[in-house]
Amino acid sequence: MNTPSALEKSTKKPSADALPRINMVGPVLARELGGKTVKLAIDGGFTCPNRDGTCGVGGCSFCSAAGSGDNASDIESQIGLLSKKWNAENYIAYFQSFTGTYAPVDVLREKYMTALSHPMIKGIAIATRPDCLPDDVLDLLSEIAEDHYMWIELGLQTVRDDVADAFGRGYRTRIYDEAAAKLKERGIRFVTHLMLGLPGENRDDMTGSVLHACRAGSWGIKLHLLNMIRGTRMAEEYPDYVPFDSPEEYISLVSDILERIPPEVVIHRLSADSKAEDLIAPLWAYRKRLIINGINKELAGRGTRQGSKFNGF
């Protein structure tokens, strides 16, 4: 009887059941950058047009005082902190706090290139708003993308403008569409943030927003479970609001959505990272591992995976 050689064993394609059910960002970065890669949440000293009065004040109503960058700091501090937790070979400088392209282009160039000059930084990720990508900034991003590993993150949250008006997003969905088209035309990869559980939305609304972002050309998707956080304007406006009644309800929704996301889209987030002491609702939302494991278990139980029900646009 013939037995497979070591080479044959190593090159044999894994069965469908052995393949990951979700195209998560960790393995993608490991393949593309050659090893375990960790994002460093960098505070670039930015503000936001939704805070400085340009299009609003106080930010989006669900946003914390730190502009969704509560754990952000400088590169050295982040490496010192995360190297104890992860045995990383590469780091991505992630400009997370507030709006990472909201400054004159010469200031942006200095911030980005300073980060990229660090010997342990292998790439850059920049969180921003679709209405903060003027042509000179796009030119700079195109230049950086030619020689560096990079992606841009766009906060969309929902395609329903009435829901976005309620939390104070400050721009129309068509602005997102225009920004996505410009990034795609320039070959700049972008990730779209979607918020699941916003007041006034149902499952079809949330699914529709995700599919809209995929259709727009998103390289990656972030699915963020809405957390009602102490001290935010949304928590004051909706004191009794609970986005999801149970982890099972959220897990079911995310599994349904993943089945319809194209299999090549990179999933960067499936839940949220709020601290338990800051949470008002859902009280279980800080249990990130429980949620992620539950989603994988749910897909396995269904015998499906990301893209199983994707039939094209």
For residue 284, being part of any structural domain is answered with: yes
**Structural domain of 72:** 18-302
Query: Tell me, what's the pLDDT at 72?
Result: 59
Reported as type and span, the H/E element at residue 294 is: helix 288-302
3-state percent helix, strand, coil for the chain, nearest multiple of 5: 40, 15, 45
For residue 272, being part of any structural domain is answered with: yes
Closest CA to 139 of 204, 185, 203: 185
> DSSP characters for 205-224?
HHHHHHHHHHHTT-SEEEEE
For residue 137, being part of any structural domain is answered with: yes
Give how far the C-alpha of residue 155 lies from the chain's centroid of Cα atoms, to the nearest Å: 8
Token pair belonging to 152 = 């841009």
210: pLDDT strictly greater than 90: yes
Q: What is the DSSP letter of 116?
A: H
Q: Report residue 225: phi and psi, to 5°.
A: -65, 120
- pLDDT tens figures, 79-135: 877 776 778 889 999 998 889 999 999 999 999 999 999 998 999 999 999 999 999
Q: For residue 50, how many C-alpha atoms fall within 13 Å in the half-sphere facing its CB? A: 23
Query: Tell me, what's the pLDDT at 1?
Result: 36
Residue 285 sits in a domain whose CATH number is 3.20.20.70
| CA distances from residue 179 to 23, 183, 305 in whole angstroms, order as listed | 25, 6, 30
Q: Rounded to the nearest 5 degrees, what angle is found at the Cα of 198, between the Cα atoms of 227 and 170?
A: 105
3: pLDDT strictly greater than 60: no
Query: Tell me, what's the pLDDT at 271?
Result: 94
CA–CA dist 201, 195 (Å, integer)? 10
Q: What proportion of the chain, given as a percentage, has pLDDT over 70?
A: 91
Exposed (0-12), middle (13-18) or buried (19+): which is 241, by Cβ within 10 Å?
middle
The pTM for the full model equals 0.89
For residue 255, being part of any structural domain is answered with: yes
Count up the domains in the chain and report the number: 1
Query: Tell me, what's the pLDDT at 76?
Result: 82
For residue 90, being part of any structural domain is answered with: yes
For residue 210, being part of any structural domain is answered with: yes
Please compute the mean of the pLDDT values over residues 185-208 and round it to a whole number: 97
- pLDDT tens figures, 34-92: 999 999 988 888 888 878 778 777 778 888 765 454 555 678 888 877 776 778 889 99
- pLDDT tens figures, 271-311: 988 888 999 999 999 999 999 999 999 999 999 999 999 99
Query: Tell me, what's the pLDDT at 9?
Result: 39
Query: Tell me, what's the pLDDT at 5?
Result: 39
For residue 128, being part of any structural domain is answered with: yes
- pLDDT tens figures, 145-181: 999 999 999 999 999 999 999 999 999 999 999 999 9
Query: Tell me, what's the pLDDT at 98?
Result: 86
For residue 256, being part of any structural domain is answered with: yes
* Spatial CB neighbours of 181, under 8 Å, sequence gap ≥ 6: 216, 217
Strand-pair partners of 267:
24, 221
Query: Tell me, what's the pLDDT at 280?
Result: 95
